[in-house]
């Protein structure tokens, strides 16, 4: 199958402005695909970034995030077959 554009893959979507940088999602991620930024967001917090690949869509980051609307996981069906 043709390689899909990166944004179409299963991935976490992070609302940078709402992230307070607690790091709970980084610990919860089984694939270690999240990392803390070195820069600050507009509100003065470090924020979590997706390393860009490797997300399996387990939802651990969403459920461990204390901010209800700071993080969501987009799961692309048939993703496995694409790989």
Partner 1 sequence: MTEKVIGKAPGLYKEFVRKGGSAPTATHYCPGCGHGILHKIIGEAMSDFDIQDRTIAISPVGCAVFAYYYFDCGNVQAAHGRAPAVATGISRARPDSVVISYQGDGDLASIGLNETLQAANRGEKIAVIFVNNTVYGMTGGQMAPTTLVGEKTSTSPDGRDPRFSGYPIHMCELIDTLKAPVFIERVSLSDIAHIRKARKAIRKAIEIQSQGKGYAFVEVLSNCPTNLKQNAEQTIEWINEHMEKEFPLGNFRDTSNDVDKIEKIYSDFSVESLDEIFELEKAHIFDTKSGGNYAARRLKVAGFGGQGVLSMGLLAAGAGCFAGHEVSWFPSYGPEQRGGTANCSVVISDDPIGSPVVQYPDILVAMNRPSLEKFAADAVSGATIFYDSSAGQFDPPDGITAVSVPTIEIARKAGSEKAINTAMLGVMIQSGVLGIGKTHFCEALKVHFAAKQKVVDINLRAIDLGSEWARENL
The binding site for partner 1 (CB under 8 A) comprises 8, 13, 15, 17-18, 20-24, 26-28, 42-43, 45, 57, 59-60, 62-78
Residue pair 44/21 in contact (Cβ under 8 Å)? The answer is no
**Of 54 and 57, which has the nearer Cβ to partner 1?**
57
Calculate the CA 1 to chain-centre distance: 25
Distance in Å, CB of 29 to partner 1, minimum: 9
**Nearest of 20, 28, 13 to residue 64 by alpha carbon:** 28
Distance in Å, CB of 66 to partner 1, minimum: 3
Q: How far apart are CA 10 and CA 29, in angstroms?
A: 14
Distance in Å, CB of 34 to partner 1, minimum: 12
**Of 38 and 81, which has the nearer Cβ to partner 1?**
81
Q: How far apart are CA 13 and CA 50, in angstroms?
A: 8
């Amino acid at each position: 199958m043709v390689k899909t554009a990166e944004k179409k893959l299963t991935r976490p979507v992070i609302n940078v402005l709402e992230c307070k940088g607690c790091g709970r999602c980084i610990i919860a991620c089984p694939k270690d695909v999240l990392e803390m930024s070195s820069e600050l967001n507009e509100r003065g917090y470090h924020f979590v970034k997706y390393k860009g690949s490797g997300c399996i869509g387990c939802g651990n980051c969403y459920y461990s995030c204390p901010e209800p609307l700071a993080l969501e996981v987009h799961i692309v069906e048939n993703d496995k077959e694409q790989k």
